[in-house]
A and B are shown apart, each in its own frame.
Chain A
Amino acid sequence: MVRKTIKVNYLARVEGEGAFKVVVRDGVVERAELSIFEPPRFFEAFLRGRAYSEAPDITARICGICPVAYQMSSIHAIEQALGVQVAGPLRDLRRLLYCGEWIESHTLHVYMLHAPDFLGYDGAIDMARDHADAVRRGLALKKAGNEILTLLGGREIHPINVRVGGFYRVPTRRELQPLAEKMKWARDAALETVRWVAGFDFPDYERDYELVALSHPDEYPFNEGRIISNRGLDITADAYHLHFEESHVERSTALHSRLRERGAYLVGPLARFSLNFSRLSPTAQQAAREAGLGPACANPYRSIIVRAVEVLYACDEALRIIDAYQPPDQPAVQIEPRAGVGCAATEAPRGLLYHRYRLEDDGSIAEARIVPPTSQNQASIEADLASFVGQWLDLPDDQLRHRCEQTVRNYDPCISCSTHFLRLELDRG
């Protein structure tokens, strides 16, 4: 019996600490395991007893790369529990803030974390030696996203201006104008990005995923919508717990999120794009077509193109919002604490992020539940590894290992996020 184990003990260019192991026996993949050894931080435990108003700032600290996603899912869930509706310019400003995070987070991944795999570098620093213009463009585009976060949120990481009911302070039209100029530049840079990544070499590989994303009748989804899939799922966030479950996986202490009775599914750019193509801006649709994408994409390696298309969309959407903006009378709607339960899902850059809160009469949090995108994608990541590796067994070990790493990085996994409720033992074989 020939047994071969491919291990990477510290996965680079992902957010957080992870590893993976693939075991091959007699040329057949026996198992593939993604391991997360990020220490748990117990967010759902210490949220108990905190004021509802503290949840956006506290949950932001789950992830330094996508804090806005945590702020947005928490405020929508809590507003639902409190029976509060936020509409008009406040709703638009939330979308604008999300545009900033998508641009910043996706551009970081496209240029600094993922592109080096396609072009054969260890990281963006080496890549800059031969592709200086591209790396500079990436840094400037990332900065443009961060400028939205800074202006509207106060700072790039853990913005301070988001609250249940709205914001602490809203910008004037005039304050937003410099952003519009920046976004016009960013839109061109995003289009160049789509063209740049479309020229990479992609393994010809597709899998038949169940794709899960939000869907909204009028817009590409950020904050609101029904949770749908390409296999007929169509629910509100209230029904999430009836359709999804966390389960233990054999030989592992990991909790994987699965669709009840159907198993692994995929959230994130591929799912959003494939389920919402018609709601992208015309420019983004055209750029996607020119980049060789159809109205759906099932090749996880091409997720880098989809991310670039979503950056282009976010620039377009930011421009649309800034152009139409009329400041609201109040920076936030009035809140009266009461007991209740609220659920919400929003689209973090990496995919669906679900929050649920139960509140006491005085607005204190009695229970909190958070399901981040990376824990939802774990089963698909492992399935990708298990089904791809078989084709690469003839490669030398270092190349094979690199291919596996790239396969995991297709998901832009955010391990810091997933770990506050996940525990995977690192099995060193």
Chain B
Amino acid sequence: MAARRRKPRLGVWKFASCDGCQLTLLDCEDEFLAVAEALDIAYFPEATRAAVKGRYDLSLVEGSITTTHDAQRIQDIRRRSRALITIGACATSGGIQALRNFADVREYASIVYARPDYIHSLATSTPIADHVPVDFELRGCPINKRQLVEVISAFLAGRRPVTPAHSVCIECKLKGNVCVTVAHGTPCLGPVTHAGCGAICPSYDRGCYGCYGPMESPNAPALSAKLGELGMDQRDLTRIYRTFNAGSPAFRKESERNGP
């Protein structure tokens, strides 16, 4: 009998995050058992207490780096991973917790904790790619499950995942949505935001709030001028760029251009 080819080993790792992106794997209800069939789920503590030590063919990494311990841990995971893919806004841009990058983390600790001296947190929240080489970044807060399945399928087939880097505007056009800004004067970050969600907010009569981060070549100053015409002041503009991808260079720069 011919030796069976070893299934690729999957590791799912968590850093500072809400768990939502790794939950997306469990939310692939129709595909989950097929994924478990194609891959050896060797480390995924949210789903199983079995843990295989050693090397991983594919590591999916959720969360941002906010402690010195985590900064060391990601180095070890990188060394043991053939391919390392980051999933979600925390891992790809630092997440909502990167708002500390614009403030004093010691002051933050004193607001939340009775004994801030117990808190050992870095001054910044940074994406995984600031610490180790990353093979592919999947955007979104949270990631989209069809895109996650595409990323895993592409890995198994040895090709690049197809996740277009154009703006949410293209997704609205593909869906046939009426533009919420043009038709209703609703402020929308769609023109500068990375596609992937399927233009959910405009489909619900709401402006995009940028949870997939910047698209490949955003012209944020031009959008800010338009948002200003729609009644947003500088504080509003700073706030809207400073959410779940506040740490991404394009959104950080535009938020700083508009406010402290």
Contacts and interface: CB of A to CB of B under 8 A. Distances in A.
B1 interface: no
A356 interface: no
B216 interface: no
A154 B49 contact: no
Interface string A116-141: 10000011111010000001100110
Interface string B115-149: 10011010001000000000000000110010000
A113 to B, nearest CB: 8
Given A12-B51, A157-B27, 6 more contacts: A15-B23, A38-B16, A41-B96, A41-B125, A168-B206, A416-B19
Name the 8 nearest CB pairs between A and B, nearest first.
A64-B20, A123-B48, A12-B49, A122-B50, A45-B108, A143-B29, A168-B206, A46-B99
B38 interface: no
Contact of B47 (A43, A124, A167): A124
Interface stretch (A53-61, A258-266, A295-303, A373-381): A53-61
A360 B50 CA distance: 50
Contacts of B47: 12-13, 112-113, 123-125
Contact of A50 (B19, B70, B197, B239): B239
Contacts, number: 187
Nearest to A117: B49
Interface in B205-253: 205-206, 209, 211, 236, 239, 243-244
Interface in B9-34: 14-21, 23-24, 26-27, 29-30, 32-33
Contact of B197 (A14, A113, A135, A155): A155
Given A44-B111, A45-B112, A123-B47, A63 B33 contact: no
A10 B48 CA distance: 11
A416 B17 contact: yes
Interface in A234-258: 246, 248, 253, 255
Contacts of B44: 123
Interface residues on A, range: 35 or more
A142 interface: yes
B104 to A, nearest CB: 10
A108 B26 contact: yes
Contact of B33 (A15, A67, A128, A161): A128
Interface in A32-46: 38-46
A64 B18 contact: yes
A12 B48 contact: yes
16 contacts: A39-B121, A40-B112, A43-B96, A45-B103, A46-B108, A51-B236, A57-B209, A61-B141, A63-B19, A63-B20, A112-B47, A139-B29, A143-B30, A158-B211, A168-B201, A416-B18
B36 A64 contact: no
Interface in A1-19: 10-17
A378 B30 CA distance: 35
Nearest to B47: A123
Contacts of A405: 49
A248 B244 contact: no
B257 to A, nearest CB: 18
